[in-house]
Amino acid sequence: MKKISAIIITYNEEKNIEKCLVSLQDIVDEIIVVDSISKDKTKEICLKYNAIFYERAFTDYSDQKNWAIKQTQYPIVLSIDADEVLSSDLRQSIVDAKNNWKYDAYYFKRLTNFCGRWVKHTGWYPDKQMRLWDKSVGEWDGKKIHEKVKLQEGTTISTLDGDLLHYSFYTIHQHIAQINKFSELKAEAMLEKGKKPNWVKIIFSPLSKFIRHYFIKKGFLDGFAGFVISINSAHSTFLKQVKFRQKYYERKNNMFL
């Protein structure tokens, strides 16, 4: 049987972390939490569930998660976010994988809850995430945003049955706040890559994003939630483009408007 170390990075997650920790019980062999110096009850809750708790100033997502991996003692890593929960079917699949480890790494299918509704279309499902792997063959890669697990060439991969339940947004306000934050990071990344502003993308990329999410990805089947997500996704694309344009011209000391 393989032994598993779970890693979680946190910051002010008292609302979510307990559900996450409960779902890990009897599945993993240790829980490593790396906290960015929370000001709520995150630490208290984590210690209640016997997590090994570290406090470390936040650098970036990949660095924080890779540092957490270095604190683990077992060969298999299960990386989970504080607002995620293992479903009962996924818990059983992980137990089966522990008892009969056939692959180097496993994807989880992530099912997201948006303002109380599970979103099964709109481009949000199955949203496969690499979350369980032999730490000798992979680590987190990427800096400011969209970190992902980078695996060595030749790594064998499969997907486990069951869903990783993602309690992402309790309110639309939270979604909009994240969009504002991430569009800023994406704009900065575009600037660093040396790209140039494009009026065509500013006008048509948001429209294309809405059509893709609402019609092609069948967002209409998720009801009003699918419509809101599709609109917000289009708005996110618009903000990314105009923020990038502003940063580009600020760097050139020219007028933005």
Does residue 22 sit in helix, strand or coil?
Answer: helix
Q: What is the structure's pLDDT at 42?
A: 98
Q: What is the structure's pLDDT at 145?
A: 74
* Alpha-carbon span 130 to 149, nearest angstrom: 7
Question: 22: alpha, beta or left, given left = phi > 0 and alpha = psi -120 to 50?
Answer: alpha
Q: Tell me the CATH class for 4-169.
A: alpha beta
* Alpha-carbon span 134 to 79, nearest angstrom: 11
Question: 21: alpha, beta or left, given left = phi > 0 and alpha = psi -120 to 50?
Answer: alpha
- At 74, phi and psi to the nearest 5? -110, 160
For residue 119, CA distances in Å to 80, 103, 110, 116 come to 19, 29, 10, 9
Q: How many CB atoms lie within 10 A of CB 212?
A: 16
Give 99-117 pLDDT, tens digit per residue.
Answer: 999 999 999 999 999 999 9
DSSP per-residue letters across 108-172: EEEEEEETTEEE-STT-SS-EEEEEEETTSEEEE-SSS--EEEEPTT--EEEEEEEEEEEEESSH
Token pair of 96 as six digits: 């089966």
**In the chain, which residues have pLDDT < 70?**
143
Q: What is the structure's pLDDT at 244?
A: 97
All CATH 3.90.550.10 domain ranges of the chain, comma separated, are 4-169
Which residue(s) pair with 129 in the sheet? 108
Residue pair 242/234 in contact by the 8 Å Cβ criterion:
no
